[in-house]
Amino acid sequence: MESFGFNTALLHEAGGKDPSTGATLVPIYQSSAFSHDSAEELERIFENKAFGYSYTRINNPTIEAFEKKVTMLEGGIGSVACASGMAALSNAFLNILQAGDEIVAAPGLYGGTIDLFRDFEAFGIKTRYARENSPEAFEEQINERTRLVFAETIGNPKLDVTDISALAHMVHSHNLPLIMDNTTATPYLVKVLGLGADIVVNSSSKYINGNSDAISGILTDGGTYQWTKEMYPGLADYIKFGKMAYIAKLRKGLFRNMGACLSPQNAFLNCLGLETLGLRMERHCKNALDLALYLQQLDPEIEVNYPGLPQSPYYHLAEKQFSHGYGGIITLRAGSRERAFRIMNRLTIPVLVSNVGDTKTLVIHPASTISLFCTPQEKAASGVFDDLIRISVGIEDIEDLKADFKQAVEGE
């Protein structure tokens, strides 16, 4: 049988039913701990010599079901679900980094990630930013202390598109791993591991969940990078696990000990949301393109940014790299901070919320919120300006959204 399409595979190939009861959706195992028949059995589980559940901070059937679904979607060998997207990023990086190591990162990053990299400096971990999102610019920043390269599939809120295959080729020529944040694209648009990335991170609070009812994050290992104890001393005891070395270290060490675990309730909500990911992303992308085309004709003084517009410098790359669309986020520059605020305040359908990926359209002013603590230089590199509005386009009827933006833009 040929491989299934995205939606069929999601519903039928990702361990959808509960193995013990046959429930079509794995139930919420709302238990902090799990009992066993003998001390010897529990010992073997703690020694990782037998499969089983012991404590929800370490593993849980509901959380595991969510992890398996995302692993299948991303085409990886294993996933670790965390309490938030930021927790997933922290675990992804700190699992292999130590004092003296350096990260090379894309210039157009989410403000929270920039803040995290600034926090890493207290632990002796430095981040160097590429001057632009191109393999050549990343390569300029690589030196003998570099231990990983990081980028977002679609920058948030810059909306620059990373050439994943080209970047992965360059990064691997330096024997380094490439970690990608795929939150804004999701595996529906692109499977970054298949294009050469080594580890992919998703803030599953966003499109994966889809309803803004659960905070979570998840990282997935592609199992392709050849870890060495010389470059990554912390992995020395785990190299024997081969392609599972990264996940084995994370589960037995940092993830277990930091305790930023996902709750069973939120894992269940994510499993529920995942079932409609393909359908929602299809509508998000279609609405975003339609709204972007409409807004650029509505007012010539408004600058519209969206990878699906032919004038975008990333249009041809997005055409080549993505399936089914260009993402659900657009940005516009209103001309001034004051006008941006007036437009946002006049909108009646979109919600002023610091999130993306909800079924409802969300708007935010990045300069005063998610990028508030960035320096002027960091804001400029991330495409954040005082007159910028970020729009996470929802699944509403597009004519209603057009009418609402029209009255907000023209009703001053």
Check which CATH number belongs to the domain holding 389 and give it.
3.90.1150.10
Is there a cis peptide before residue 187, judged by omega within 30 degrees of 0?
no
**1 in any annotated domain:** no
**282 in any annotated domain:** yes
* Residue 198 structure tokens: 């080594």
* Residue 27 structure tokens: 């139930």
Residues of the chain with pLDDT under 70: 1-2, 15-16, 412
What was the pLDDT predicted at 1? 35
**188 in any annotated domain:** yes
Is the domain of 115 the same as that of 127? yes
> CB-hemisphere CA count at 13 Å for 202?
34
**222 in Cβ contact with 76 (< 8 Å):** yes
Is the domain of 268 the same as that of 195? yes
Query: What's the total number of domains in the chain?
Result: 2
Is the domain of 14 the same as that of 94? yes
Which of 245, 274, 303 finishes a domain? 274
For position 187, which CATH number holds? Answer: 3.40.640.10
Provide the whole-model pTM: 0.95
Amino acid (one-letter) located at 330: I
Which of 274, 289, 314 finishes a domain? 274
Is the domain of 289 the same as that of 261? no
Sole residue written with tokens 């070395």:
245
Is the domain of 251 the same as that of 339? no
In which domain, by residue range, is 338 found?
Answer: 278-410
Is the domain of 119 the same as that of 30? yes
Is the domain of 45 the same as that of 148? yes
DSSP three-state, residue 151: strand
Question: How far, in Å, CA of 77 to CA of 129, rounded?
Answer: 29
- Nearest Cα neighbor of 387 from 315, 330, 320, 339 is 339
Is the domain of 13 the same as that of 117? yes
Residues 6+ apart with CB under 8 A from 173: none
What was the pLDDT predicted at 380? 87
Sole residue written with tokens 């970047």:
167
Which of 274, 303, 329 finishes a domain? 274
**349 in any annotated domain:** yes
- Nearest Cα neighbor of 164 from 173, 152, 155 is 152
**243 in any annotated domain:** yes
Is the domain of 20 the same as that of 146? yes
Is the domain of 107 the same as that of 237? yes
Is the domain of 269 the same as that of 290? no
Is the domain of 49 the same as that of 183? yes
Using alpha carbons, list the distances in angstroms from residue 411 to 123, 185, 405. 51, 33, 10
**284 in Cβ contact with 401 (< 8 Å):** no
